Amino acid sequence: MSALTRLNVAEVVFDLSAFVCLHAKGDKPCYVRLVIRVDHPSALLDVRGVTKAFAGVMALRGVDLDVRSGEVHCILGQNGAGKSTLIKTLAGVHRPDGGEILWQGERVDIPNPDTAIGFGIATMYQELDVVDGLTIAENIFLGHELSRGGVTNRAEAARQTRELLRRLGHPQLSPHTEVGQLSAANKQIVSMARALSHDIKLIIMDEPSAVLDTEEVKNLFGVVRELTGQGIAVVYITHRLEEIRQIGDRITVLKDGRTTATGLSAAETPTAELIRLMTGRDVANVFPQPVPIPADAPVVLAVDGLGLTGVFEDVSFQVRAGEIVGLAGLVGSGRSEILETVYGARKATSGEVRVGDTRLRRGSVVAAVRAGIGLSPEERKSQGLVLDQPIFVNVTLSSMSRFARAGFLDERAERAAARAQIEALELRPAEPDRPAVTLSGGNQQKILLARWLVHGTRVLLLDEPTRGVDVGARSEIYALIRRLAAAGNAVVIVSSEIEEVLGLSDTVLVVADGRILETLPASRLTEHAVLDLVMKGTAA
Amino acid sequence: MSAHTAPGTGPAPAAIPVWRRVLSSSAGRNLGLVVALLLLVIVGAITAGDTFLTVSNTLTVLRQASIIGVISIGMTLVIIAGGIDLSVGSVMGLASVVAALAAVQDLADQVHWIVMVVVALAVGVFAGLINGIVIAYGKVVAFMATLAMLVAARGLAEILAERRTLQVGDRDFITFMNLDILGVDMLIWIFAIVAAVGWVLLNRTTFGRRTVAIGGNREAARLAGIDVRRHTMWLYALAGLSAGIAGIMILGRTTAGSSTNGMLYELDAIAAVVVGGTLLVGGRGTITGTVFGVLIFATLTNVFVQNNLSSSVQAVVKGVIIVVAVLLQQRFSGPSGRSA
C-alpha cells in the first residue's frame, strides 16, 4: 500500500489562475494547474484541552492530541499520567469536565460507550472484556446478536466471525471455540474481532502487549499493521519504548494529566527526550533532607532469599532502623508482590523474613503485625480503609484489643488516641468521628500511617504512598515518612514514580521481572539510569 | 479540598434536605421502622380494636416473634460481616430433635433437664462451627456451604427422629419454659436477653467491631492484622448457637422435638434483618433494626389473624413489605462511598 492512499486528503484545489491568465492575455500557451494539497491532513480525532477530576483530584489537566486515519498513535506516560482516564473519556465511560473532543472535524459529546461505538471508536481494555463461557462467535456478537425474528442466526454469525478472524490473520481459530480455553493473546484477537464487527474507524489498545510473549507481540504488530492498512487508526498505549519504535507513527506524551508533547515522530525522537518528557516535573516536589543513619543502627527487617513461584525469586535485603529503602520498577515487575509477601499477605514459597530476632511465619499477616510490621497497601480504598467507618475506628483497627478490657471497647480511649494522631499528623478534618470516605487521598493516607503509629510499628511498608494524593499534599506525606524513619522505623516504599523512590529513599533496589537487579544508594542513581536498567531488565 | 470537589462525588451536605438527612442517619432509619410498626398497630386497632389492643394479644405477638427473633440476632451479625446463614432453621430443628432424644432416653430420669439445654446449644454451635470452618478455611461461598447444611441437618434430624414427633416428658423443663416473670413469658425474656447480648456484642466489643470491619472491607480488615478466617468461623458458630437457643425455645413451647421444627425460619430471619436496615452486602446494620423487623412481621401476622385473613394474603403483603423496605433503604442509605 502506497503512502499516498493512507493520507487523508484535506482539500483539493483546482488552481484556475492560469485560465484567467489565458483569457486576459491570449498570447501564452494554455495550461491548467491541478494542485492537491496534502500537507495538513485533517484529524480523525482531535482532543483539545480535556480535563477531568475525580473526588477533587485532577486526573486530566489539559490533554491535547490528534489522531489521523491509518496511523498508529502511541500514548506514552508513567502510571498516574492520565492514560487510562483519557481512554475512558474517549470510550464514553467518563465525561470530561472541560475541553472539547472533535470527531471528523465536528465537536461531539460521548456520553456513553454505545455512542463511542456508534461513532466508530472501539476500545480494548487491559483487562480483556470477553466472556469466558461463550464461544468466539457469541462473544463477537454479544449485545448485537444477528437474529431473525428473535432467533439468533448462528450460521451467519459463524460466517462473519470466520471472515473477521481471517482479516485479523487468525483463520485457524474456530468460531465455536469457547473463549475460556484461549490464550491471552487469542482472547485479545477475539476482543479485536469484536471491535471490527462494528464499523470502526479508531481502535484504542490499552497496553495490549502487557500479557503477551515476544512471539505473540510480533503477531499483534502484524494485526495492527493490517488494521492501519485498512485505514483504521490505532491509539496504542504502552510504556515499552522499544515497541513504539517498531509499530508507532507518532507519539503523544502525557505527564501528570497534561500533554507534554504531541505529534512526535516515533522513529526519530530520541529515547532520552521521551524519558525527559515523561518524567520532567512541572511542580517542584520538595523531598525532605535525608537524615544520616547512625553507624550502630540495628537491622530491623531482614529479608532473605524470599520467593513466590512465578512472581519473584531470591529477593534479599535488609533495612536498618531509620533507613528508607525504595523498590523501583515497572508495573508487573513484582515490586508490590514483594512487599505483600514480606507482610504475609501472600504466602512465600521460599526464603524467610525476620523482624529483629523474630522469624515470621509464612503467609500470616497476624504474625507480621504482631512482630511490628505495618503495611499501607497499594489500593488505599479497597485494601486499606473501612470507608463507611469513622476515622478513629480505622486508626485503631490493628490495635483495638489494646483499647479493650475483656473484649469490651473503650471508645473514649480510642477517640483520644486517634485525636493525638490527628494532631501529630495534621490530619484534616480533625474529627475522629468523620467517616473515612469523606477525606481526601492525602488524609486517608495519614489515617493508615496513624494506624501503625498507634500500633507501635517498627517496620513500615508503604505501597504507593502518594497515589491519588494531590501534588500539593505530597511533600507533606514525604516529610512525614522521613520523620517516621528518623524516629527509628525501618521503612520500605514502593512507587511507580521513580522520582519519588529516588527522592525519598536512602537505598534503592531496582526490580525487574521479579528479580532485584541492583542495590544502590539513592544518591548514586538518576531517574534515567533506573529506567534504563529496568527497560534492559525487562527486555532480557 | 472543596474547591476541587468533582461532580459525581455526591451532593454536598447542604444540598441534602433535612428530612432526607434525618432519614439516612442510623436513628432515622430506626425511626422509619417505628413509624411502620405504629402504622401496623393503628391498622390493627381500627380493624380489630377490641381484641388487638389488649395486653394478652401484645404478649401473643411478642411470643410469636421470640423464636424468629433469637435466630435473627445471630443472622444479623453474620449478615453485617457480609455472610449469610441459610441453615439456621434446619439446625434449630436438629437441635430440638437431639435435645428431645436426650430427654426421652432412660437416663433422663437421673439427669437434670439442664443437660438437655446444653445438648441443644452444643448441637447448634457444632453445626455452626462446621459451617464456619467450611466457609472460612474451605473457602466455600457462604450461600452454598449453609445451603448444604440446611439440607443435611434437616435430613439428619429426620433420621434421628425417625419422622416421629418426640414428646418431652420432663415436667420441670416444661414448667421452666412456661414460667411467667413479671407477667411476661419466658420465651419473651429469652428473646430480650439474646437481643440485649447481641446489641452489646455488636456495639461494645472488639468482636462486634471486627464483624463490622470485615463486612465493610474484608481485605482491609485482613491487611490490618485481623484474623478474618478465625473470626468468620466464630460468627457462624454464633449463628448456630442462636439456632440452638431457638431449638430449646420451640421445645418449651410445643413440648415436642420434631424434624420439621424451624422449617423456612431462615427466610423469615433474613427478611427481618433486611427490613431492619442491615445491608446484605455487609458493613452496616443494627440489632435494634432487626428487633423492629421481627416485630413488624409478627404484628402483621397478628393483624391478619385477627381479621381472619388467609396466610396466603399475608405472604403476599410480606413480600411487598420486603421489597418496599429494600427500595427505601437504597434511597436513603446515601452515598456509601463503597468502591466498585
The H-or-E segment that residue A186 falls in is helix A184-197
In Å, how far are A65, A354, A355, A497, B15 from A490, measured between CA atoms? 44, 13, 10, 21, 46
Q: pLDDT grade, residue A323 (50/70/90)?
A: very high
d(Cα B239, Cα B27) in Å, to the nearest integer? 26
Q: B21-40: per-residue pLDDT in tens?
A: 555 555 666 778 888 888 88
pLDDT score of A3 more than 60? no
CB-based contact B219 A97, cutoff 8 Å: no
Q: What integer pLDDT is reported at residue B17 of this predicted model?
A: 59
pLDDT score of A426 more than 50? yes
Q: Does A51 touch chain B (CB under 8 A)?
A: no
When pLDDT is averaged across residues A170-188 and rounded to a whole number, the result is 84
Residue with cell 424468629: B68
Q: A201-221: per-residue pLDDT in tens?
A: 899 988 887 667 667 788 888
Q: What integer pLDDT is reported at residue B226 of this predicted model?
A: 93
CB-based contact B206 A409, cutoff 8 Å: yes
Residues in a beta bridge with A250: A73, A265
- Which SS3 state, helix, strand or coil, does residue A10 take? coil
pLDDT score of A27 more than 90? no
CB hemisphere CA count around A3 (13 angstroms): 4
Q: B286-321: per-residue pLDDT in tens?
A: 999 999 999 999 998 888 888 888 888 888 988 888
Start-end ranges of CATH 3.40.50.300 in chain A? 45-279, 299-372+457-539
The H-or-E segment that residue B93 falls in is helix B88-104
List the grid coordinates of A161.
Answer: 466471525
Question: Contacts of residue A400 in chain B, CB cutoff 8 Å?
Answer: 206, 209-210
Question: Contacts of residue B206 in chain A, CB cutoff 8 Å?
Answer: 400-401, 404, 407-409
Q: Which domain holds residue B221?
A: 67-285
Residue that wins the pLDDT comparison between A359 and A242? A359
Question: Residue A246: is it exposed, middle or buried by C-beta count within 10 angstroms (0-12/13-18/19+)?
Answer: middle
Q: Which of B217, B227, B281 to mutate to test the interface with A (most CBs of A within 10 A)?
A: B217
Q: Is residue B293 in some structural domain?
A: no
In Å, how far are A9, A15, A19, A57, A268 from A37, measured between CA atoms? 7, 11, 20, 44, 25
Q: Does A368 touch chain B (CB under 8 A)?
A: yes
In Å, how far are A380, A386, A393, A443 from A436, measured between CA atoms? 11, 7, 9, 9
Contacting residues for A72 by C-beta, under 8 A, at least 6 apart: A224, A228, A233, A234, A236, A247, A248, A249, A250, A266
CB-based contact A387 B338, cutoff 8 Å: yes
Written as one letter, the residue type at B282 is G
CB-based contact B338 A388, cutoff 8 Å: yes
* Cβ within 8 Å of A, B 302-331: none
Residue that wins the pLDDT comparison between A18 and A242? A242
CB A302 within 8 A of CB A276: no
CB-based contact A389 B205, cutoff 8 Å: no
Q: Does A470 touch chain B (CB under 8 A)?
A: yes
Q: From the CB of residue B201, how many other CB atoms can be counted at a distance below 10 Å?
A: 19
End-to-end CA distance of chain A: 34
End-to-end CA distance of chain B: 23
CB-based contact A369 B219, cutoff 8 Å: no
Q: Does B51 touch chain A (CB under 8 A)?
A: no
d(Cα A99, Cα A96) in Å, to the nearest integer? 7
Chain A to chain B Cβ contacts (< 8 Å): 106
Q: What integer pLDDT is reported at residue B10 of this predicted model?
A: 37
Residue of chain B whose Cα is closest to the Cα of A403: B206
Residue that wins the pLDDT comparison between A210 and A25? A210
**CA geometry: angle B210, B213, B217, nearest 5 deg:** 145
DSSP string over A452-476: HHHHT-SEEEEESTTTT--HHHHHH
Residue of chain B whose Cα is closest to the Cα of A437: B337
Q: What integer pLDDT is reported at residue B23 of this predicted model?
A: 55
Q: Is residue B147 in some structural domain?
A: yes
Contacting residues for B214 by C-beta, under 8 A, at least 6 apart: B81, B82, B221, B226, B228, B231, B232, B282
Average pLDDT taken over every residue of chain A: 83
Tell me, letter by letter, the H, E, C secondary structure of B2-60: HHHCCCCCCCCHHHCCHHHHHHHCHHHHHHHHHHHHHHHHHHHHHHHHHHHCCHHHHHH
CB-based contact B221 A407, cutoff 8 Å: no
Among the partner residues B205, B217, B336, nearest to A385 by beta-carbon distance: B217
Q: ipTM surpassing 0.85, yes or no? A: no
Q: Which of A19-33, A152-166, A357-371, B69-83 is predicted least confidently?
A: A19-33
Q: Does A53 touch chain B (CB under 8 A)?
A: yes
Q: From the CB of residue A435, how many other CB atoms can be counted at a distance below 10 Å?
A: 18
Residue that wins the pLDDT comparison between A106 and B85? B85
Among candidate residues A478, A480, A482, the one with its CA nearest the CA of residue A290: A482
Q: From the CB of residue B211, how many other CB atoms can be counted at a distance below 10 Å?
A: 30
Q: Does B227 touch chain A (CB under 8 A)?
A: yes
Q: Does B180 touch chain A (CB under 8 A)?
A: no
Question: Contacts of residue B212 in chain A, CB cutoff 8 Å?
Answer: 386, 389, 393
Q: pLDDT grade, residue A330 (50/70/90)?
A: confident
List the grid coordinates of B133.
Answer: 470452618
Question: Contacts of residue B226 in chain A, CB cutoff 8 Å?
Answer: 366, 397-398
Q: B106-152: per-residue pLDDT in tens?
A: 555 667 788 888 999 999 999 999 999 999 999 999 999 999 999 99
When pLDDT is averaged across residues A377-405 and rounded to a whole number, the result is 91
d(Cα B60, Cα B41) in Å, to the nearest integer? 14
pLDDT score of A195 more than 60? yes
Q: Which of A95-104, A463-472, B13-22 is predicted least confidently?
A: B13-22
CB-based contact A368 B204, cutoff 8 Å: no
Q: What integer pLDDT is reported at residue A52 of this predicted model?
A: 87
Q: What integer pLDDT is reported at residue A21 of this predicted model?
A: 44
Question: Contacts of residue A97 in chain B, CB cutoff 8 Å?
Answer: 6-7
d(Cα A518, Cα A531) in Å, to the nearest integer? 12
* Cβ within 8 Å of A, B 191-220: 204-207, 209-210, 212-213, 216-217, 219-220
Q: Is residue B31 in some structural domain?
A: no
Q: B171-206: per-residue pLDDT in tens?
A: 778 888 888 888 888 999 999 999 999 999 999 999
Q: What integer pLDDT is reported at residue B1 of this predicted model?
A: 36
Q: What integer pLDDT is reported at residue B340 of this predicted model?
A: 30
Q: What integer pLDDT is reported at residue A332 of this predicted model?
A: 74
CB-based contact B220 A54, cutoff 8 Å: no
d(Cα B6, Cα A532) in Å, to the nearest integer? 38
CB-based contact A397 B205, cutoff 8 Å: no
Q: B70-80: per-residue pLDDT in tens?
A: 999 999 999 99
pLDDT score of A353 more than 90? yes
Asked, as a colleague might, if the bond just before A429 is cis with ω within 30 of 0, I would say yes
Q: Does B12 touch chain A (CB under 8 A)?
A: no
CB-based contact A384 B338, cutoff 8 Å: no
pLDDT score of A326 more than 90? yes
When pLDDT is averaged across residues A143-148 and rounded to a whole number, the result is 75
d(Cα B70, Cα A527) in Å, to the nearest integer? 63
B112-120 long-range contacts, CB within 8 A, separation 24+: B113/B170, B113/B172, B113/B173, B113/B176, B116/B168, B116/B170, B116/B173, B116/B248, B116/B251, B117/B248, B120/B95, B120/B96, B120/B244, B120/B245, B120/B247, B120/B248, B120/B251
Q: From the CB of residue A489, how many other CB atoms can be counted at a distance below 10 Å?
A: 24
Contacting residues for A216 by C-beta, under 8 A, at least 6 apart: A183, A184, A185
List the grid coordinates of B241.
Answer: 448457637
Q: Does B221 touch chain A (CB under 8 A)?
A: yes
List the grid coordinates of B279.
Answer: 445491608
d(Cα A34, Cα A37) in Å, to the nearest integer? 10
d(Cα B150, Cα B134) in Å, to the nearest integer? 14
Q: What integer pLDDT is reported at residue A41 of this predicted model?
A: 52
Q: Is residue B317 in some structural domain?
A: no
Q: What integer pLDDT is reported at residue A347 of this predicted model?
A: 94
Strand duo A459-463 + A373-376: pairing:
parallel
Q: Which of A41-45, A85-89, A114-118, A487-491 is predicted least confidently?
A: A41-45
Residue of chain B whose Cα is closest to the Cα of A410: B204
pLDDT score of B337 more than 50? no
pLDDT score of A315 more than 60? yes
d(Cα A28, Cα A147) in Å, to the nearest integer? 67
Tell me the percentage of chain B whose pLDDT exceeds 70. 86
Q: Does B14 touch chain A (CB under 8 A)?
A: no
DSSP string over A230-283: TT-EEEEE-S-HHHHHHH-SEEEEEETTEEEEEEEETTTS-HHHHHHHHH--SS
Among candidate residues B114, B86, B115, the one with its CA nearest the CA of residue B240: B86
Question: Contacts of residue B221 in chain A, CB cutoff 8 Å?
Answer: 386, 397
d(Cα B68, Cα B313) in Å, to the nearest integer? 20
Residue that wins the pLDDT comparison between B76 and B258? B76
CB-based contact B213 A57, cutoff 8 Å: no
Among the partner residues B2, B6, B339, nearest to A382 by beta-carbon distance: B339
When pLDDT is averaged across residues B30-53 and rounded to a whole number, the result is 83
Residue of chain A whose Cα is closest to the Cα of B10: A55
Average pLDDT taken over every residue of chain B: 84
pTM of the model: 0.72
Question: Contacts of residue B210 in chain A, CB cutoff 8 Å?
Answer: 400
CB-based contact A53 B6, cutoff 8 Å: yes
Residues in a beta bridge with A33: A15
| CATH class given for the domain over A299-372+457-539 | alpha beta
Q: Calculate how close chain A gets to B237, using CA atoms only, in Å.
A: 18
CB A116 within 8 A of CB A110: yes
Q: Does A14 touch chain B (CB under 8 A)?
A: no
Domain count for chain B: 1
Instruction: Spell A158-167 as b/e; 16+ CB within 10 A means b.
Output: bebbbebbeb
Q: Calculate how close chain B gets to A355, using CA atoms only, in Å.
A: 16
pLDDT score of A58 more than 50? yes
Q: Does A257 touch chain B (CB under 8 A)?
A: no
Task: Please determine, looking at this structure, whether the domain spanning A45-279 carries the CATH number 3.40.50.300.
Answer: yes
